[in-house]
Amino acid sequence: MIVDYIKFKNLSFTSENRLFMIHGNPRNLSNELEHDITNFYRKLNYNHISYVIDDDTQTSSIEIAFYEQSLFDEKKITTLNIVCNSIPKNLKNFLESINNKPTDNKIIIKIDRQASSFKNTKLYKLLSTNDCVIELYELKGKMLETWVINKCKINKVAYDDDVINDLINSNFNNSLAISQVIYQRSLLDKNFAAKNIDQSKYTEYDLVDMLHKHDSVGFLKVSKYLENINTPLSYIIFLMSSELEKIYSVKQSVNNKPYIPQFLNSKYNSTCLNYEVNTLLQGLKSISGLDLNSKYNARYSSPWVSFNDLFLNIINNNQI
């Protein structure tokens, strides 16, 4: 079957569903739908596994893990986050073969909007006939208003009609930007009317320290202060990107490691224990696009909001 966001939200899950493909953007809504699916199956004692896919190198291990039977008859639901331009060939072959083999395990495929010809592929036709395809687009109108109100309620942020309209209009109807603003406001203050952050004075190196301390609330406070005193975001991005590279190089063995003074080795060794390799790698990939937006598309991209959201996700080891 093929459904949109609204129809999916009203859909009754059954244990018979095997594959779900969330096709489209924005990613925050894609993550929300993934959360709905995994929550349902966790209640049925499924264990959740997640992979970030940018080529075919993991396909063999994914297939083995999917069909592998443990002594305890463990059931699995696997998320495949496709970050490359299209589904890799061997992975596509594996997905096309699943319905021909008996298994109780489930798969969620998350992929950005593809060309219209994608709907004519064998995989898309199989999933839309035998499984569930969710066609995802940006929310509009009353549906967007309702979604924003629910986000405010979930994050315990005070709101009224003016707040809702301002959130929608100031973020150009972009649900991702709206979600980021609501979440960041909820961390700083539970009341949207409170506009002032604390009067402490911070520097960019306090921001680095918050990354090392794994402190998301502290990071946001420092970042808001730096934004308010008009610190150049391009410089902050450069500094934080360099810091991510250092942490990643300690966490994962790489060639041409960035320089870390010997007396700081213990600090970086301690920091890397708080971060996952995939999170750091995706953060490094995302920050280059963020840098371009901050320099050339700042009017429409809300770069400080995106910067904060990226690093809050990194600190919390969330999917990016």
Q: Is the pTM of this model over 0.75?
A: no
**Angle of helix 277-296 relative to helix 233-251, nearest 10 degrees?**
160
pLDDT at 132: 93
- Domain-ending residue, one of 80, 106, 136: 136
Q: What is the pLDDT of residue 188?
A: 66
- Give the separation between CA 158 and CA 200, rounded to whole angstroms: 25
Quick one: 162 and 220 in the same domain?
yes
Peptide bond into 261 cis (omega under 30): no
Are the beta carbons of 85 and 11 closer than 8 angstroms? no
Same domain, 28 and 120: yes
- Domain boundary (79, 104, 136) is at 136
Q: What domain range includes position 129?
A: 2-136
Contact 34, 8 (CB under 8 A): no
Task: For residue 34, count CB atoms less than 10 angstroms from its CB and return exposed for 0-12, middle for 13-18, buried for 19 or more.
Answer: buried
Rounded Cα gap, residues 48 and 254, in angstroms: 29
* pLDDT tens-place values along the chain, 320 residues long: 999 999 999 888 776 778 999 999 888 899 999 999 999 999 999 999 999 899 999 999 999 989 887 656 788 999 999 988 899 999 999 999 987 777 889 999 999 999 999 999 999 999 999 999 999 999 999 999 999 999 999 888 888 999 899 889 877 788 888 888 888 778 765 444 444 444 567 888 899 999 999 999 889 989 988 998 888 888 899 999 999 999 999 998 777 888 888 888 899 999 999 999 989 988 998 888 887 777 766 555 678 888 998 999 899 877 65
Tell me how many domains the chain contains: 2
- Domain assignment present for residue 320? The answer is no
**CATH assignment at residue 100:** 3.40.50.300
> Are residues 129 and 250 both part of a single domain?
no
**Cβ atoms of residues 66 and 78 within 8 Å:** yes
Q: Are residues 172 and 308 in the same domain?
A: yes
Domain match, 132 and 145 both: no
CA dihedral (224, 229, 235, 241) in degrees, to 10, reads -10
Q: Are 202 and 225 in contact (CB under 8 A)?
A: yes
